[in-house]
Structure 1
């Protein structure tokens, strides 16, 4: 199953000191295939992750393992594939 995780961060003074550990854990999850893409807002106030797991609980468990998890609000949305060019393709 594929999910979009929308993260908003709660500003706390401890966050900068947790960034290296957060980056390391994100790299581990990406190497394991749990994170397929990550985007951050230019001002670092929010993030979006495309995540893959056997279930929503699996994805939530991965998110809970992030060092910054206590300082973020997370909204998970299950995704379904969509080909935006499918309606423009013609069969021959």
Structure 2
């Protein structure tokens, strides 16, 4: 069963001031126990692509993006993507293959 965006990224309180914390749940099962993927050392679980139009992010946007590979405690793999294209900011969750 696919989770809705409201079940995947949920408000989790305040970080002080006017900022809000968000909890990222597994998109496959809703599990709150999410850690960096078991792909090697920590720096290998996070990749940053410079802001060049020659890059296409896993969200389908062009330009720079940050990818964080994650796995829930039930073993589902996915990536949290933060992308920027021509001043527009995008976030998304995509399955990791």
- Per the normalisation by structure 2, the TM-score is 0.26
Task: Point out the structure with the larger helix share.
Answer: 1
Q: Which has the higher contact order (CA 8 A, sep 6+)?
A: 1
